[in-house]
Structure 1
Amino acid sequence: MAMGKYSRVDGRKSSKWCSTVTIVVFVGLCLVGVWMLMSSSGVAAPNSDVPAQEPKEVKQKVVEIFSKQYEDISGDLPEDTGKEEHPESSQDESTSNVEDSQNLLENVEGKNESEEDSKREAETDEDAKSEDNKSNSGDRESNSEGGESNSGDGDSNPSGEDKRMSETETSTNEQQESEDSPSESTSNPDGGESKTDVDSSVEEDQSKDQASNEGFPAGAQSEILKETTADSGAWSTQAAESQSEKESQKSPLSKDQNGYKWKLCNVTAGPDYIPCLDNVQVIKKLPSTNHYEHRERHCPDEAPTCLVPLPEGYKQPVRWPRSREQIWYSNVPHTKLADVKGHQNWVKVSGDHLTFPGGGTQFKHGALHYIDFIQKSLSKIAWGNRTRVILDVGCGVASFGGYLFDRDVLAMSLAPKDEHEAQVQFALERGIPAISAVMGTKRLPFPSKVFDVVHCARCRVPWHIEGGKLLLELNRVLRPGGYFVWSATPVYQKLPEDVGIWKAMSELTKSMCWELLVVNNDKLNQVGVAIYRKPMSNQCYEKREQNEPPLCKEDDDPDAVWNVQLQACMHKVPVGASDRGKQLPKPWPLRLGKPPYWLTSSQVGVYGKAAPEDFTADYEHWQRVVSTSYLNGLGIDWSSVRNVMDMRAVYGGFAAALRDLKVWVMNVVTIDSPDTLPLIYERGLFGIYHDWCESFSTYPRSYDLVHADHVFSNLKKRCKLEAVIAEVDRILRPEGKLIVRDSVETIAEVEKMAKSLQWKIRLTYSNDSEGLLCVQKTLWRPTEKETIFSAIA
């Protein structure tokens, strides 16, 4: 019994002990479970920060997607560019992948760091407030989340964990929005804007990660890329500035996009300001204006960095060819010329338009009749065949050049600024090439022996005075065998003054060995025309009894024109079989794509090859770039493009590639680069010498598109890049496009300035050290003004 009793007592003790052990084990398991939950949460937070751990992989993925999209519309690509095995699935997923990757990259790249820092601090504060609310709610899940945020690494760096989690949540939300709203990269047919969307977040790293080279020559074309190296070598020898001066020029470029303080130019000329032609203070001090010195270039000591204002009510220009007949009055609000020349059918005011009936002083009944009259007077002129590039002196509103497009002829039209109010501005607004220039004291900015015809219709130039100095300048630019077409009152009127001028001109042209081929009268317009031909040999010069006008000295370079004074002398005609000017160029359009006879294999081209091979490679390169990238890959509506500027033309390949479009291209050869401008003319194109450290001789808002191929990287060695961009802004129309091909560093600088100008970034692309940028000017103008005292009357 006793044993039984004790036995029952031990059983009860064992039962209590078991219960205790069970409770302890249960509590322990709960604690372990809580610890495991806390541990798993502590590990999850860093794992969720994908961008922080694998930025390179994400960037590369976005670059690959952009590469595939750009590959579809770019033909100037590397031949070894890899392609996807399953393009269909890639295209289906491209939208979400691009948006995902872009959002992730935005957290990694650190673009606009100040904005990101402030955004993250705000998110951290919001998270902290949220956690306080959760810890007080009594909800188990909320307490658990609060415990995770305060445990482990969270205690040592709470702000860092909260920041990463906030970024991940933001990226997730943005990803969901992108899935709900498809990216433009799949909906935009021309592809221009879509690439900008992707590239806006990866442009700074593409130069390192990108494996392909869209928009740039590769493979067999790779030699063209050497142009950068070739020109860099030449420019580096001219970089004589001190290191401190270079740094001072670069200092504005180190600012962020809000660091540029653009101001509006406060000048007397207002919206028509041309810095080198409106230097009022210098013009006032000129000792004489008898030779039109006041219409020549007088650039300010420092190129302005202010922006030219827009005319009130400015509108997008009327498109070609309708612009030849009418333009918006608000864009060029000048009526004086209509009052003075309206009766000659130059220009008339018609409501909110200015209309151009196509007439002129010598062709009141239309330019086309006058053009055909010249052809009938001398059939050998052969518009659009033998005659392709002409110079029209004293062009007025350039109706003669405007209607020569119908005959496949390019006319370089020039007239002095304000001699007839806004005449050159009218021409450019109409879509007709023209520059503000004058036959004054300096040589024209063109090479020698390049124009097929020089034309003057009542151009008011006294050719016969001072030994014929001005006519001798025409002789310089006129090619041997070329024609001078002169339509003026001395040709067909018998007033004493006209008779005297005709006699003086007859003596002068005879002493210059020009042959008078024909004098003909147009009964409809009641005017006459005299056509002369320049000799193709030196025989006449050698047989002259008197050396008047004298022949120029042997060491006088006829192609040296930048700020060179006029001389009353003549250059001999070339005599060597391979000399330029010895033969006439091939008929148009055969002359466009073939190297001229005087470009020999013994000469070294700009890019280091034999000159003819260099020329051909450049021609093929730009044909490829324009047809496969520019026409389709930039989202440009080319029907809205008429006036085009190539800031560094080299051989004129870019202009040649645009031949089939209804555009004209002003090819610029800078004064510090190889003198290839004669070759451009020989191709049947035209251009001008210029120094981009100074303003161009054109009105504001002249061009629809400006092309800059490796221009800015060279210019910033000796100019203030901010001033050059301000000049581009001046000559570019609102909604006009700027295409830049340059080093990645320069592309980044130009893009920052473009953003500060409120321009639209249409495309940024880079590969290795080379970049491509396409931006679009807007109507934005600053409100703060800067007075340019040199331009105040």
Structure 2
Amino acid sequence: MKKEDVLPSADQQTEKKPEEKQPEQSPIDMEWKLCSFSNAADYIPCLDNQKAIKKLRSRSHYEHRERHCPTGDDIKKCLAPLPSGYQAHVNWPQSRKQVWYSNVPHPGLVSYKKDQNWVKKKDDLLLFPGGGTQFKQGAQRYIDFIQISLPDIAWGKHVRTVLDVGCGVASFGGFLFDKNVITMSFAPKDEHEAQVQLALERGIPAILAVMGTQRLVYPSYAYDIAHCARCRVPWHVDGGRLLLELNRLIRPGGYFVWSATPVYKNEPEDVQIWKDTKALADNMCWKMIVKQRDPKTGVGIAIFQKPKDNTCYQKRQKNEPPMCDESDNRDAAWYVPMQSCLHKIPEGDGIRGTRWPQEWPQRVNATPDWLGTIPKGLFGKPAVEEFESDTIHWQHVVQKSYARGLEIDWTVIRNVMDMKAGYGGFAAALVGYPVWVLNVVPVTEPDTLPIITDRGLIGQYHDWCESFSTYPRTYDLLHADHLFSRLKQSCGVVNTVVEMDRILRPGGWGIFRDTTTILGEIEPLLKSLHWEIRVSYTQEQEQLIAAQKTSWRPSS
């Protein structure tokens, strides 16, 4: 984020034109049907749109794994069925080790990765030993080896946020929770059947995404570390475009941890890939500070550090990769093509990215110093004042209301999404709970996501007029604070409520805060879906509804 007078609007972060609003059906007239097409129980609208995928001119850069959302009559007007035998999920932390097979009935990885200790099936459970292709003695051993190799990483203090590329079943991120590190794991929906679905069922942050032609849906400097363990990404091809995308996302002074056969094996192909990737990293001014092999497992890692300033860029004899044009917005990330270029490192006082945030856990409530240069925040007051009052406000709401007054059993809540996250205060207030929160900043709202990631929290951009890139039944609680007021003006509320029903687990909760007029439309819609209204509270023109999804599905 550049030095600005106001927070930039997140709609500046997209190159996609909004769809024209369609008339909505009244909730009173709703007659829900059960989706009956193939794979309906795991249907992801924007990733399973075969009509759009068949029209693609190329798949060479994984275009078929990217988002292609249905519109108009192509939007499925039905509800995803439950898998046969579906039951309440295993609670965290036991879920890191085992989940019900009936909830994610996909045996493919059990056989496909049987020699790599990803996942095993025993009776009616799927078991996760904590292994992986590179985790030959478990993810915990691997995580400790990284720390031993580079003590400056200081898990859970200096390093708080990690992006795990090609995550498998996300055991790396799952065991980093023990270090007070939160990891956003991602992988495409591909032949590695249901890997992201399994990660989420385990209670580990994960999303379906691919390093293809479009930027990942995060602002610049969103992560302290990017990690790749045998992620099968060709970093060295296409002018280094994919590694340059990681460079955009890594905080200045942050790290790239790479563990793959080119790092430590001497096969001709591995040697050439290492040579090409290392040359690219050198040209990007990444400094290799560790190249080491674990004597117990034989697995090697290489750790590169992104520069903290522009000194190295200025000394390069060749402008390869080229520097990005000054007009290129490094935070733009919603349907924005990747660029094969380097952004300059920020310089000067009051600019985001010039300083590493405070150590965790102080980081979560510390006011980013660069906010002082923004006189108008979300509500028209100085951004610093708003940030600090927002932090106090959500601490009070969570402690006095959500934790005690909504009938929610927080011992069974693990995967949480704040659908309109603002400054991230709701997620910050939940840091002491055994949950993780994905902070979503709608592209129609001011761009507060850089503030959220500076707090040591995870989040992404999204347009709630489209479906989310996750499987059905993957979240326990969805928080919608004045989200629908804006949606009412654009694409309406019905499709988004149906989307909430798709991604929420049976027994999961929706917390809605909005005007009485808006929630007057939402409440009958929830009732038509057989959600149970547990709490409804009105004060003047504002209303709160806490509703619990049931296991009801239409009969046909």
TM-score with structure 1 setting the length? 0.67
Deviation (angstroms), 1:567: 1.1
In 2, Cα distance between equivalents of 1:648 and 1:284: 33
2:60 maps to what in 1?
Answer: 290
Q: Does 1:694 align with 2:466?
A: yes
Q: Does 1:532 align with 2:304?
A: yes
Deviation (angstroms), 1:343: 1.6
Deviation (angstroms), 1:525: 2.0
Q: Deviations over 1:509-534 (max 9, x none)?
A: 00000000010101222110000000
- Alpha-carbon contact 1:308-1:730 (below 8 Å) kept: yes
SS of 2:111 mapped into structure 1 = helix
In 1, Cα distance between equivalents of 2:83 and 2:391: 40
- Alpha-carbon contact 1:480-1:534 (below 8 Å) kept: yes
Aligned with 2:134 (options 358, 362, 374): 362
Matches within 5 A, 1:414-429: 414-429=186-201
Deviation (angstroms), 1:768: 1.4
Structure number having the greater strand percentage: 2
Aligned with 1:300 (options 64, 70, 84): 70
1:271 maps to what in 2?
Answer: 41
Q: Does 1:448 align with 2:220?
A: yes
Distance 1:394 1:241, change over 3 A: closer
In 2, Cα distance between equivalents of 1:529 and 1:757: 50
1:340 maps to what in 2?
Answer: 112
1:325 maps to what in 2?
Answer: 97
- Alpha-carbon contact 1:273-1:308 (below 8 Å) kept: yes
Deviation (angstroms), 1:419: 3.4
Q: Does 1:504 align with 2:276?
A: yes
Deviation (angstroms), 1:487: 0.3
Structure 2 counterpart of 1:421, which letter? E
Q: Does 1:388 align with 2:178?
A: no
1:661 maps to what in 2?
Answer: 433
Structure 2 counterpart of 1:723, which letter? N
- Alpha-carbon contact 2:350-2:373 (below 8 Å) kept: no
In 1, Cα distance between equivalents of 2:313 and 2:191: 37
In 2, Cα distance between equivalents of 1:354 and 1:601: 51
2:287 maps to what in 1?
Answer: 515
Backbone CA RMSD of aligned residues: 1.5
In 1, Cα distance between equivalents of 2:518 and 2:435: 28
Q: Deviations over 1:647-694 (max 9, x none)?
A: 000100000001110000010000010100010010010101000000
Structure 1 counterpart of 2:46, which letter? C
- Alpha-carbon contact 1:394-1:413 (below 8 Å) kept: yes
In 2, Cα distance between equivalents of 1:720 and 1:747: 13
SS of 2:510 mapped into structure 1 = strand
In 1, Cα distance between equivalents of 2:171 and 2:346: 34
1:460 maps to what in 2?
Answer: 232
Q: Deviations over 1:527-571 (max 9, x none)?
A: 100000000111111111110000000100001111111111010
In 2, Cα distance between equivalents of 1:523 and 1:241: 56
Structure 1 counterpart of 2:187, which letter? A
Aligned with 2:336 (options 561, 564, 568): 564
Structure 1 counterpart of 2:58, which letter? S
In 1, Cα distance between equivalents of 2:153 and 2:424: 25
Deviation (angstroms), 1:746: 1.2
In 2, Cα distance between equivalents of 1:330 and 1:526: 36
- Alpha-carbon contact 2:252-2:306 (below 8 Å) kept: yes
1:730 maps to what in 2?
Answer: 502
Structure number having the greater helix percentage: 1
Aligned with 1:586 (options 345, 350, 358): 358
1:595 maps to what in 2?
Answer: 367
Distance 1:611 1:752, change over 3 A: same
- Alpha-carbon contact 1:277-1:295 (below 8 Å) kept: yes
1:613 maps to what in 2?
Answer: 385
> How many corresponding residue pairs?
539
In 2, Cα distance between equivalents of 1:590 and 1:636: 28
- Alpha-carbon contact 1:269-1:278 (below 8 Å) kept: no
In 2, Cα distance between equivalents of 1:587 and 1:767: 39
- Alpha-carbon contact 1:344-1:361 (below 8 Å) kept: yes
Instruction: Tell me whether 612-621 or 294-303 shows the greater mean CA deviation.
Output: 294-303
1:637 maps to what in 2?
Answer: 409
Q: Deviations over 1:241-263 (max 9, x none)?
A: 99xx78x33xx33x53xx21111
- Alpha-carbon contact 1:651-1:680 (below 8 Å) kept: yes
Q: Deviations over 1:82-102 (max 9, x none)?
A: xxxxxxxxxxxxxxxxxxxxx
In 2, Cα distance between equivalents of 1:356 and 1:241: 42
Matches within 5 A, 1:743-782: 743-782=515-554
Matches within 5 A, 1:125-140: none
Aligned with 2:490 (options 718, 723, 735): 718
Structure 2 counterpart of 1:578, which letter? G
- Alpha-carbon contact 1:304-1:726 (below 8 Å) kept: no
Structure 1 counterpart of 2:40, which letter? G
